[in-house]
Structure 1
Amino acid sequence: MATFADLMSLLMALFVLLFAMSSVDIVKYKAVVESFNETLGNGDELTPEQTSFFQSVQQGIDAQTPVIENPQTDEVDKSTREMQSLYKQLQSSFSLLGEQAVKIEFAEQSNQIKLVFPEQIAFDAGRAELKPHFVVLLRKLADLKKQPLLVKVVGHTDSRSITGGRFLNNWELSSARASSVVAQLVKDECVRPEQVQAIGVADTQPIDKSQTEQAFAKNRRVEILLLSMGEQNEKMAMQH
């Protein structure tokens, strides 16, 4: 007389036969096998041959279960490594010039690099023409055109009103300074025209809100933000 375990073995054999003759979802199939195992208990009612059969089926399922990789995660890791490498390269380049006034920061969470150039090394007061030494510093960014980066040049001023001169207000001055930097970077082929933006924010993003000469000097600056886009994102951005 056939036992319950014999009956279940026959059903399982039929199930495997159907599986071999068709394309079945591995995950669903694995769940069914585990259900059979639970129904039969811990193997107390199985013969050695039946136990061996179920184990071989389980091993076959495990071998066919695909390992799902996440290419997006791999690209993020690669992008972070590239930005860290660029950060170290920029630190080394400006260090060799002995330029201590330039600040270079790397924000790993947002995966971006920020270079801060104070007004004293970049522009004369109230003007948007680049100082010769500042032009030399900008040429240290020559490799940016090879990188999948979005380059944002942001002009900042202090909170004091402009009196006289060609600019009516701090918005015009900050925008003109950012545009001058962008024009120089494009002229020297440090960046590609499609990867760079000029932004003027006047006095809306101060480093120091106190009303002192030292604070005003800190706030008058130009920042160059390097944002990693990744190769795929850059290609998509260039298509629009």
Structure 2
Amino acid sequence: MAKKKCNDAPWLATFADLMSLLMAIFVLLFAMSTLDAHKYEAIVKSLTHTLGHGSDLTQTQVQYFKQADELRKSDQNLDGETRIEHLKPLYESLVETFAMASQQSDVQVSLDPKKKRVHISFPESISFPTGRAELKPGFAVYLNKLQPYVNQHARLQAVGHTDKRPVTGGRFKSNWELSSARAAAVIQKLILDGLIQPRQAEVIGVADTSPLSLAETEEGYAMNRRVEIIIEPNYFNENEVDAPN
């Protein structure tokens, strides 16, 4: 008795597996990055034209990714609102604290909800003598006021800023050295006073690359000479990094 011939092409199974893998790759890429639905539609059209599929599958896939993109944007907006709510108590308390310490409102406090941190800007007039990196005696009083707001989960960055005029005389050869030395002096003071551990600290000197004012006047230069302390209150929790002991 003759055997019945099988008309199924054996390559179809392999082809189906390849299509499944291709779809898995697209899903993985979507999960790892922000996907523009229009770009995805163009990619899928190109692939389906090459592979010989119809347009129905393309439209289904595009619609799925459009909905997923809208959901992602909605989650991002909600996350931004949540970040602000979590930072508000810290921000408002710091504003009140430094408003009481400085009747002239020299200290500026601002929110950065996107990066989940608070900035505190101290002008040179209360922090350092001109052209030097030794803390003014009264500046320690301001730094000590940070103690209630810093715990083992927080990370602190000190960022030194200068004006655009070159350094003349003294031990610093450039504004880069001066701004870095001032930031280091702030962190060293916080560590010596026991407010933070070395692992929680970061020193940054940016010289005159991030000015507050572009005016080439004494007032404009004074605004740019400052040191910032940036507090990320939950850095070690949210980044799954072991907190300092």
- TM-score normalised by structure 2 residue count: 0.61
Output the aligned Cα RMSD: 2.6
**Distance across 2 between alignment mates of 1:207 and 1:74:** 30
- The structure whose Rg is larger is 1
1:152 partner amino acid: Q
Q: Of the candidates 83, 87, 101, which is equivalent to residue 83 of structure 1?
A: 87
User: SS at 2:241's partner residue?
Assistant: helix
Deviation, 1:78, is: 6.8
The reply to whether residue 127 of structure 1 matches residue 136 of structure 2 is: no
2:191 partner amino acid: V
Deviation, 1:112, is: 1.7
1:74/1:216 CA distance change after superposition, 3 Å:
closer
1:74/1:211 CA distance change after superposition, 3 Å:
closer
Deviation, 1:238, is: 4.9
Q: Of the candidates 143, 154, 164, which is equivalent to residue 138 of structure 1?
A: 143
1:76/1:206 CA distance change after superposition, 3 Å:
closer
Show structure 1 runs of 5+ residues with no match: 1-72
1:127-155 CA distance string (max 9 Å, x none): 10001111100000013431632211000
Residue 79 of structure 1 contacts residue 228 of structure 1 at CA under 8 Å; is this kept in 2? Answer: no
**Distance across 1 between alignment mates of 2:93 and 2:152:** 13
Residue 187 of structure 2 contacts residue 203 of structure 2 at CA under 8 Å; is this kept in 1? Answer: yes
**Distance across 1 between alignment mates of 2:152 and 2:90:** 9
**Distance across 2 between alignment mates of 1:129 and 1:204:** 22
Residue 158 of structure 2 contacts residue 230 of structure 2 at CA under 8 Å; is this kept in 1? Answer: yes
Residue 144 of structure 1 contacts residue 191 of structure 1 at CA under 8 Å; is this kept in 2? Answer: no
Deviation, 1:90, is: 1.0
Deviation, 1:223, is: 0.7
Deviation, 1:80, is: 4.4
1:207/1:76 CA distance change after superposition, 3 Å:
closer
**Distance across 2 between alignment mates of 1:186 and 1:163:** 30
Deviation, 1:210, is: 2.2
**Distance across 2 between alignment mates of 1:224 and 1:236:** 21
1:179-227 CA distance string (max 9 Å, x none): 0000011111222221111110111111112211111111100011112
Q: Percent identity?
A: 38
2:159 partner amino acid: V
Runs (4+) of structure 1 exceeding 3 A deviation are 73-82, 228-232
2:114 partner amino acid: Q
Equivalent residue, structure 1, for 2:120:
115
User: SS at 1:203's partner residue?
Assistant: coil
1:78/1:185 CA distance change after superposition, 3 Å:
farther
1:82-130 CA distance string (max 9 Å, x none): 4211111111211222441000111333322110100011011101000
Equivalent residue, structure 2, for 1:92:
96
1:184 partner amino acid: K
Residue 80 of structure 2 contacts residue 113 of structure 2 at CA under 8 Å; is this kept in 1? Answer: no
**Distance across 2 between alignment mates of 1:157 and 1:171:** 8
Q: Of the candidates 176, 185, 189, which is equivalent to residue 181 of structure 2?
A: 176
1:212/1:143 CA distance change after superposition, 3 Å:
same
Residue 79 of structure 1 contacts residue 230 of structure 1 at CA under 8 Å; is this kept in 2? Answer: no
**Distance across 1 between alignment mates of 2:118 and 2:133:** 24
User: SS at 1:136's partner residue?
Assistant: helix
- Aligned positions, number: 168
- Give matches, 1:1-240, under 5 Å: 80-99=84-103, 100-146=105-151, 148-230=153-235, 232-236=237-241, 238=243
